[in-house]
Amino acid sequence: MTEQDFILKSYNTNKESGSVKWASPSNIALVKYWGKKKHQIPENPSISFTLSDCKTITEITYTKKEAKGFSFDIYFEGEKNEAFKPKIQTFFERIETYMPFLKDYHFKIETSNTFPHSSGIASSASGMSAIALCLMSIENELSDIQNDSEESKDFFNQKSSFLARLGSGSACRSIEGELVVWGKNESIDDSSDLYGVKFEGDVHSNFKKYQDTILLVDKGEKQVSSTVGHQLMYGHPFAKERFEQAHVNLAKLKAILASGDLNEFIKIVESEALTLHAMMMTSMPYFILMKPNTLEIINKIWAFREKTDSKVCFTLDAGANVHVLYPESEKENVLEFIKDELVSYCQNGHYICDQIGQGANQIQF
């Protein structure tokens, strides 16, 4: 597939209005995306677990209007929101070539998250993928596509992911579950820089219903946006090695997912998290997104693993919060450990329990 394949060739505006609604999850990367080229093309491949319960629910109501500019309103958790408008404006500008009907309709975008607002959880992945999916459903309605074939479902998912990527890179990994790869990589057939693909390799039963408990260490705004962070990989002294390492780690992880070797899984996942933060600390300007409590939690996890036979591990996003990953078989013990030893490091004692999920769902009216 190339960019050209995603351009909508024909549609009609006979439909005066309509509504579509999707729930789309967040995802947590195991091999991290950090650094991009023009048009949100990743510098290296990444793979993520799709989450189950941390979701954005978005409804878009479209109403025919006279052509000219884009016209849309955004309501976040029931209230009109002006702050999100520039991001959506940029998104519409980027995707208009692929969705030429965007100027023919006014869009009322109503969105809410299942996780608490200002939890410091990246909502751009779930938020942008939910909008992309809604726009794809509208595209189908305007082009009278009712074809339920596997081929048209694949195209729907691919183009949704392609569009979501143009909103926020990591959002392209939120359309499907349980594991999604984004970025061309030799070890994954059909992998692409343009969209995420469902990981079709063998996955050992150790990873079924894998748990992710998100410890909310810092619920504030990030000091450095991921857009700025990605840019700092240009001319970064370790960029080349880092991008190569991600390819190697993805190939290793593919084998680990098949074998179920949890010790090797831990090594890749924790090293990826620390490498992501090491890139931030060694860019110019440099910055640190971890907080003292992030490190306290990491040390507690290492001590717990040392003391027990647990396979619990951590990963981090571009922030201070810690994702605690563990097999479902350890759920009871690890939750007890979290409550006893880790919750005190969370802001207001807040944490969110989630697990691997199956991807986005359309909500029928």
- List 194, 297, 318, 346, residue binding ligand PMV (CB under 6 A): 318
User: Which of 34/337 has CB closer to ligand PMV?
Assistant: 34
- List 168, 191, 211, 355, residue binding ligand PMV (CB under 6 A): 168
Segment lying near ligand PMV (by CB under 6 A), choices 135-143, 166-174, 185-193, 329-337: 166-174
Segment lying near ligand PMV (by CB under 6 A), choices 25-33, 62-70, 196-204, 345-353: 25-33
Q: Is 98 in the site for ligand PMV (CB under 6 A)?
A: no
User: Which of 29/216 has CB closer to ligand PMV?
Assistant: 29
Segment lying near ligand PMV (by CB under 6 A), choices 28-36, 95-103, 258-266, 353-361: 28-36
CB of 157 to ligand PMV, least distance (A): 18
User: Which of 34/98 has CB closer to ligand PMV?
Assistant: 34
Q: Round the CA-based radius of gyration of the chain to a whole number and report it.
A: 20
| Bridge partners (DSSP) listed for residue 19 | 61
Q: Is 161 in the site for ligand PMV (CB under 6 A)?
A: no
Number of residues that bind ligand PMV (CB under 6 A): 13
Q: How far apart are CA 340 and CA 332, in angstroms?
A: 12
Q: Is 137 in the site for ligand PMV (CB under 6 A)?
A: no
User: Which of 226/275 has CB closer to ligand PMV?
Assistant: 226
Segment lying near ligand PMV (by CB under 6 A), choices 4-12, 27-35, 104-112, 255-263: 27-35
The three state secondary structure string of the chain is: CCHHHHCCCCCCCCCCEEEEEEEEEEEEEEECCCCEEHHHEECCCEEEEEEEEEEEEEEEEEEECCCCCCEEEEEECCEECCCCHHHHHHHHHHHCCCCHHHHCEEEEEEEEECCCCCCCCCCHHHHHHHHHHHHHHHHHHHCCCCCCCHHHHHHHHHHHHHHHHHHCHHHHHCCECCEEEECCCCCCCCCCCCCEEECCCCCCHHHCCCEEEEECCCCCCCCCCHHHHHHCCCCCCCHHHHHHHHHHHHHHHHHHHHHCCHHHHHHHHHHHHHHHHHHHHCCCCCCCCCCHHHHHHHHHHHHHHHHCCCCCEEEECCCCCEEEEECHHHHHHHHHHHHHHHHHHCHHHCEEEEEECCECEECCC
Q: Is 127 in the site for ligand PMV (CB under 6 A)?
A: no
Binding mask 45-64 for ligand PMV (x = CB under 6 A): -x------------------
CB of 128 to ligand PMV, least distance (A): 8
Segment lying near ligand PMV (by CB under 6 A), choices 11-19, 87-95, 137-145, 162-170: 162-170
- List 25, 26, 32, 246, residue binding ligand PMV (CB under 6 A): 32
Q: Which residues bind ligand PMV (CB under 6 A)?
A: 29, 32-34, 46, 124, 168-170, 226, 276, 317-318
